[in-house]
Structures are given as C-alpha cells and as structure tokens.
Structure 1
Amino acid sequence: MTVKYTPDHEWIQLEDHEAAVVGITLHAQDALGDVVFVELPEVGRTYAKGEVAGVVESVKAAADVYMPLDGEVTEVNEALRADPSLANSDPLGNGWFFKVLIKDMGQFDPLMDEPAYQKFVKDNA
C-alpha cells in the first residue's frame, strides 16, 4: 500500500488503483494538539486538488483539511466524527478522515513519499 504526503500535512494511501484513504499526518496532529472536533466532507461530492474538504479543530487552533488530488468522496470516518481524539491517538490508522475515488492518478505520483515528507517537515520547522 503506497502512502504519499502533501505540503499541507495530509497523507493519502492507495487501497487499490483508484481508491484511497486520506488523513492528517503525525506532524499535523502534533502541531494542533488535542483534537476536539472534525468537520468531514460530504459523501458523493467531488473536490478539486487543493480544495478544502474538511476542518480539524483542537484546543489550540483550527486547520483546513485539503483534498490531496481531484476525486470524489466515497466514505467518511463516522468513528472520527464521534471521537475526534482518534486523530491524535491513531492519525495514520483509525483516525483517517475520508476515502476518495481518484479522478486523475497522474496527480498521485508527484506527491511526497515518506523520506521527502520528513525532509520537508525538517526544512520547514
């Protein structure tokens, strides 16, 4: 399962050739602190790459969650809506935000892999 990262601190993991799961990175949840609320996107809605697809609020701040590439939201994580702290306790697992059907796989490859993302975080600290 291939995982890529955005400069806005979202991760996207391919489930198959066009379906993927999206969430926020460890760095994002560390910067936000204790997450207390999430606003998830509308299932069935198509978003463009870079469009705001959700919001995450913590005791310290609120941040937009951006669509990493063009796609249609096929599912949202209702468990996360019920327990936003999953974004802190398991951001790369049970704290996922939504699933998406990718419209243009050509937008996936240019996203950062793990080493590139770690370098990006370090260089932009």
Structure 2
Amino acid sequence: MRALLHFIKMLNGRKIYSAVLQSSPVAALGLFGLATYVTQQRTKEIGVRKVLGASTMRLLKLLSGDFIKLVFVAFVIATPVAWWAMSQWLKRKECSIVNENCPKSDIQKQDNYNIKYL
C-alpha cells in the first residue's frame, strides 16, 4: 500500500514538472508577443523620437518600462502567495523531513538498518 502511495506521489510530481515545462515557454511567447504588438503600435513614435535624436538606450527604456512594471506587480502579488502555499505545504510535511520527534516509517527504518550494516 505504501509503495502505491509513493508511486502516486511520484506521478503527481512528474505531472507538475511537465506542466511547468510546458507553461514556461507559453508564458515567454506571450510576453514576446505583447512586446512585438506594442512595438508595432508605437512605430511612428519611435521613428519621430529617433529623428529628434533619442538614443537607442532611451528608446529601449521607453518600450521596456511598461513590461518591467507588469513583471514587478506580478512578482509582488506572487511572492506572498507562494510563501503562504509553501509554508502550508511544509506544515503538512513536517514528519517527512528528518525529525527525531516524528515516528519513523518502515522505509526509514529499513534505510537506517542498511546504513548501519553496510
């Protein structure tokens, strides 16, 4: 029964890992698409600023300022949520971290036995 539960936990971990691997490029493509869209919308403004003597660095700051603000707001929102979620998860996993006060499972006892007699 424990082996089955362990196997299910492993499968869930792999599902989460694969979801992260699939969603990260999609998010990056979305951000790239948004940057491309904004650049196309502001083509005339960029041309006028360049003719009037704006540096490339100034134009880059002008275009990336909006995205940096969005990323910062997302970070500010996501950080406390992630901290809370991880603290809740770790509270439930208190005994799975090495702790002398927690009762040892059969697997941990077997591992300790194997380590002592190797």
TM-score category, normalised to shorter length: under 0.3
Instruction: Answer 1 or 2: higher relative contact order, Cα 8 Å, separation at least 6.
Output: 1
- State the TM-score, normalizing by the size of structure 1: 0.20
- State the TM-score, normalizing by the size of structure 2: 0.21
The structure number with the bigger radius of gyration is 2
More helix by share: 2
More strand by share: 1
